[in-house]
C-alpha cells in the first residue's frame, strides 16, 4: 500500500480493515467471473451437443432418404440384364421428380457377373441395351458389363470410380451383391465436370426375386461437401462441421469426407458417431461463443466490472479522507510558497520595468542630444550663410559642416529605422556574391579606424548584402573606438569545414564583462554606462547578420580587449 509523509507523521492511504475488505472483494469478484465463465462454457457445450445431434439427424436422414428411394427403384427392376436405356432413364426421372437426389451427382446401373458367367451375360443382353450402355470389363472376379448414368451422359466418367479406378469399389460391390445389403465405399476423390470433390459411393443390390441372388447394383455418388453445406447453413453463424469416416484403417485426409466452416478458437466441440451403410461415421461440430446471446456473453464482463467498481469505490473512499487531511497541510504550504514566488516575480518584473524605463529615458535623452547637436550646427551654419558676407573659403567650410551633420543625422535615422524593421520582422537582404577584402579596406579608409591584418589570399566570396555588411563593420569599428582602445585589428579567415568566412574586429581595451556578453547584443544593451550610443548598434548588427545567413558573436581574445566575429556563408561556385 502507498504511504505519504506530512509534517513528520506517516499516513497510510488504505487502512488494515480496508485492506481485508478489498482482498475479500477481489477474491469474490474473481470467483464470480470464473463461475460465470464456466456456466457460459457449459451452456455453449450444451448448444454444441444439440447442434451435433441435429447435424447427425439431418445427414443420416438425407442419406437414408436417397438410399430408400434407390431401394424402391431396385425393387421395380425385374432383371438388370433386361433393362434397356429408355426404361432405366424413365425410372430414374420418376424417382428424381419425387424430390430426392438433391446431393447426389449420379445414379448408375451396373450389370455385374462372375467371370465364368460373363459370356452368357453378354449374350443375354438385347441389342438395344448393348447400343446405349457403356460396356467395360474389370480385372477381378466380378465384371461390370454395362452401366446407365443419370442425370447427364457426361457423368459416365463416374463409372471409373465405381469399379475400375476406385480400389474401394470392388469390395463394396462384392459385399452388396453377395450379401444383398446396401454398402458404401470409403471417402474418395471424384472427378466431376464442375469440380473435383470428396464423395462416397453407395451400392444398392438389385434382387429380382425375394431371397434370390442379386443380378446387378445401382450406385449413388453422394457429394459430401454439398450435403454438409446444406446442413451447416441452418446452424448459427460461425459454426463449423467436419464429417469423418471413422471406420478401421482410415486416418488423416483419407478419412475426411468434408468440412464446412472454420472452427473458432474459443468454440466448443461436440462429437456425434453413427453407423450406416456398412460404415462408421463421425461428425465434429464446433460452435463459436457468438452462438450465445450478446447479453448472455456479457455476464462475466458485467460481473467483473461490478466487482472492479466496488473495489475502486472502496479504495477511493478510503483514500479520500486521508487525502483531505493531507491537502489541508499542503494547501497552506503551497499558498505560502506561491505567495513567495509571486512576490519574487513581482520584484523581478518591477526591476525589469525600472531598467526598461531607465533605458528608455537614456535612449530618448541620447537620441534627443544626437539629433539636437547636428541640427544646432546646421542651423548656425545656415544663418551665417544667409546673414553674413562670407568669403568663398568660409562658405565652403560651412557647407562641408552642414553636409557632415546631415550625414550624421541620416545615419542616426537609418539606424533607428533598421532597428524598427528588425523588431517588426520586415528586414530583408539582397544577397549576392561579395568579395570581403575590398569592402573591409574601403570601410577602414572611410572611417580611418583600424588596420587590416593577416590578409589571406584564399578567402572565397560570400553570399551577402553589401550594404548590410558595410553597416555591420561600421558599427563594430565605431564600437571599438568608442568602448575599446587601439590598436584596432580587422582580420579574415576561411573555415573550409564549416564553409563560412569569419571577419574579426578586435580592440585592446578593457573588454566586455562576462555577465554582459549576452546583454550587449539586445536592444538598449550596453557594456556598462561608459561611452556614447544608446544600445542599438550590436542588436542591429546581429539582426543584419542573421538575415544574411550568418552570425555575430563575442569571442574572448587572448590578452586584453574585446573581439567580435561576423560569420557569413560562402557563395556557391
Q: What is the per-residue pLDDT across 320-331, written as a single tens digit (0 to 9) for each?
A: 666 776 776 777
* 3-class DSSP state of 265: coil
pLDDT band at 123 (very low <50, low <70, confident <90, very high): low
Nearest of 52, 54, 58, 91 to residue 75 by alpha carbon: 91
For the chain, helix (H) and strand (E) counts, in that order, are 13, 19
Residue 33 near residue 306 (C-beta atoms within 8 A): no
pLDDT at position 303 over 80: no
The per-residue pLDDT for range 208-229, each reduced to its tens digit, is: 777 778 777 888 777 787 778 7
**CA dist., res. 11 & res. 283, Å (int):** 65
Q: Which long-range contacts (CB under 8 A, 24 or more apart) does 207-212 make?
A: 207/74, 207/75, 207/180, 208/77, 208/78, 208/79
- Tell me the pLDDT tens digit for each residue of 549-558: 999 999 988 8
Looking at residue 64, what is its pLDDT? 85
Q: State mean pLDDT over 101-106.
A: 64
Instruction: Determine how many CB atoms are found less than 10 A away from the CB of residue 122.
Output: 17
Distance of alpha carbon 99 from alpha carbon 46, whole angstroms: 34
What was the pLDDT predicted at 363?
A: 63
Output the 3-class SS for 446-507. HHCCCEECCCCCCCCCEEECHHHHHHHHHHHHHHHHHHCCCCCEEEEEEECCCCEEEEEEEC
pLDDT of 10 strictly over 60: no
Report pTM: 0.45
Mean pLDDT of the chain, nearest integer: 75
Task: Give residue 7's pLDDT.
Answer: 42
C-alpha cell at 234: 441452418
**Above pLDDT 90, what percent of the chain?**
10
What size, in residues, is the chain? Answer: 573
Instruction: Tell me which residue of 359, 332, 316 sits closest to 520, measured CA to CA.
Output: 359
Q: Which residue has the higher pLDDT, 33 or 231?
A: 231
Q: Quick check: 8 pLDDT over 70? A: no
Which stretch of 38-42, 284-288, 464-468, 562-566 has the lowest confidence by average pLDDT?
38-42
Q: In the chain, helix, strand, coil percent, each to 5?
A: 55, 20, 25
Q: Which three cell numbers stand for residue 388?
A: 553674413
pLDDT tens, 388-424?
777 888 888 888 877 877 776 776 676 666 666 666 5
Residue 486 pLDDT greater than 70, yes or no? yes
Residues 6+ apart with CB under 8 A from 432: 463, 464, 465, 466
Residue 187 has pLDDT above 80, yes or no: yes
pLDDT at 371 over 50: yes
Instruction: Tell me how far the alpha carbon of residue 391 is from its chain's centroid.
Output: 91
- pLDDT range class, residue 342, cuts 50, 70, 90: confident
**What does the pLDDT read at residue 116?**
57
Binned at pLDDT 50, 70 and 90, residue 370 comes out as: low
Amino acid at each position: 500500500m502507498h504511504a505519504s509523509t506530512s509534517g513528520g507523521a506517516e499516513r497510510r492511504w488504505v487502512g488494515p480493515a480496508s485492506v481485508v475488505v478489498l482482498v475479500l472483494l477481489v477474491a469474490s469478484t474473481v470467483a464470480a467471473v470464473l463461475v460465470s465463465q464456466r456456466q457460459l462454457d457449459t451452456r455453449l457445450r450444451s448448444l454444441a451437443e444439440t447442434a451435433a445431434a441435429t447435424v447427425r439427424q439431418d445427414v443420416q436422414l438425407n442419406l437414408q432418404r436417397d438410399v430408400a428411394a434407390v431401394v424402391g427403384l431396385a425393387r421395380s427392376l425385374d432383371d438388370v440384364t433386361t433393362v434397356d436405356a429408355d426404361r432405366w432413364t424413365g425410372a430414374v426421372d420418376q424417382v428424381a421428380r419425387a424430390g430426392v437426389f438433391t446431393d447426389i451427382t449420379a445414379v448408375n446401373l451396373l450389370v455385374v457377373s462372375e467371370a465364368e458367367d460373363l459370356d452368357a451375360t453378354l449374350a443375354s443382353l438385347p441389342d438395344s441395351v448393348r447400343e446405349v450402355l457403356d460396356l467395360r470389363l474389370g480385372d477381378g472376379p466380378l465384371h461390370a458389363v454395362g452401366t446407365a448414368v443419370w442425370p447427364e451422359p457426361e457423368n459416365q466418367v463416374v463409372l471409373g470410380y465405381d469399379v475400375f479406378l476406385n480400389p474401394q469399389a470392388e469390395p463394396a460391390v462384392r459385399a452388396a451383391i453377395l450379401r444383398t445389403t446396401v454398402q458404401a465405399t470409403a471417402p474418395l476423390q471424384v472427378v466431376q465436370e464442375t469440380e473435383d470433390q470428396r464423395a462416397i459411393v453407395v451400392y444398392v443390390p438389385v434382387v429380382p426375386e425375394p431371397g434370390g441372388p442379386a443380378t446387378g447394383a445401382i450406385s449413388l455418388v453422394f457429394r459430401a461437401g454439398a450435403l454438409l453445406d446444406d446442413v451447416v447453413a441452418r446452424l448459427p453463424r460461425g459454426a463449423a462441421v467436419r464429417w469423418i469416416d471413422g471406420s478401421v484403417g482410415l486416418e488423416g485426409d483419407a478419412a475426411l469426407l468434408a468440412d464446412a466452416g472454420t472452427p473458432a478458437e474459443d468454440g466448443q466441440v461436440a462429437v456425434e458417431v453413427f453407423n450406416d451403410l456398412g460404415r462408421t461415421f463421425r461428425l465434429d461440430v464446433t460452435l463459436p461463443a457468438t452462438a450465445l446471446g450478446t447479453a448472455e456473453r456479457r455476464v462475466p464482463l458485467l460481473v467483473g466490472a461490478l466487482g472492479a467498481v466496488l473495489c475502486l469505490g472502496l479504495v477511493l473512499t478510503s483514500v479520500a479522507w486521508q487525502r483531505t487531511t493531507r491537502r489541508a497541510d499542503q494547501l497552506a504550504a503551497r499558498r505560502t510558497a506561491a505567495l513567495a514566488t509571486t512576490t519574487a516575480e513581482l520584484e523581478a518584473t518591477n526591476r525589469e520595468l525600472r531598467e526598461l524605463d531607465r533605458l528608455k529615458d537614456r535612449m530618448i535623452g541620447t537620441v534627443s542630444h544626437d539629433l539636437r547637436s547636428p541640427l544646432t550646427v546646421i542651423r548656425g551654419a545656415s544663418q551665417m550663410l544667409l546673414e553674413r558676407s562670407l568669403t568663398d573659403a568660409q562658405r565652403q567650410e560651412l557647407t562641408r559642416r552642414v553636409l557632415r551633420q546631415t550625414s550624421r543625422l541620416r545615419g542616426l535615422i537609418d539606424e533607428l529605422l533598421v532597428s524598427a524593421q528588425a523588431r517588426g520582422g520586415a528586414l530583408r537582404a539582397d544577397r549576392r556574391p561579395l568579395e570581403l577584402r575590398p569592402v573591409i579596406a574601403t570601410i577602414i579608409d572611410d572611417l580611418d579606424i583600424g588596420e587590416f591584418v593577416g590578409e589571406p589570399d584564399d578567402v572565397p566570396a560570400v553570399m551577402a548584402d553589401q550594404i548590410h555588411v558595410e553597416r555591420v563593420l561600421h558599427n563594430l569599428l565605431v564600437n571599438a573606438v568608442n568602448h575599446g582602445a587601439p590598436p584596432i585589428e580587422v582580420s579574415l579567415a576561411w573555415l573550409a569545414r564549416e564553409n563560412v568566412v569569419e571577419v574579426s574586429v578586435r580592440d585592446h581595451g578593457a573588454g566586455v564583462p562576462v555577465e554582459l556578453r549576452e546583454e550587449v547584443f539586445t536592444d538598449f544593451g550596453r557594456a556598462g554606462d561608459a561611452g556614447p550610443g544608446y544600445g542599438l548598434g550590436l542588436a542591429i548588427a546581429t539582426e543584419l547578420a542573421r538575415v544574411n545567413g550568418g552570425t555575430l558573436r563575442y569571442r574572448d581574445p587572448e590578452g586584453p580587449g574585446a573581439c567580435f566575429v561576423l560569420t557569413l556563408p560562402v557563395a556557391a561556385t
